[in-house]
Amino acid sequence: MEREGRLIRLEIVRTHLDGFLEAMGANVLASRQEPGNFAFGLARSLTEEQPDGPAIFYVWEEFTDAAAFAQHHASPHFLAFQAWQKAQPDGVIVRRGLVTVPLLRD
């Protein structure tokens, strides 16, 4: 089985942390319940943060295949997070996504 994964780095302006955590938290919890989901996590990188800079988070998502990934992107919880993200002013969220290929598997 060929899994498909993404590692996403997010920089969030600190004044928007509560909204981000609410919107992303709902997305993470619901995504973990999707049939094609293998892993979905959110972590904050305190060591990369500067006192006057944004909060930095990483999202790791891994799905069984491209079809499961496409279903995730069509899910109500993903679309709700995407709508929240698009409603934010420019510069509130800086997203850097990396397409990855998981190598070590059980």
Indicate the domain borders of the chain.
1-64
d(CA 72, CA 36): 8
What's the rounded Cα separation, in Å, for the pair 89 and 99? 26
Answer for the pair 14, 43: CB distance below 8 angstroms, yes or no.
no
Per-residue pLDDT at 103: 59
| pLDDT tens sequence across 68-93 | 999 999 999 999 999 999 999 888 88
Q: What is 1-64's CATH topology? A: Alpha-Beta Plaits (3.30.70)
Q: Read off the pLDDT band of 102 (50, 70, 90).
A: low
Asked whether residue 1 carries a pLDDT value surpassing 60, the answer given is no
Distance CA 19, CA 13 (A): 11
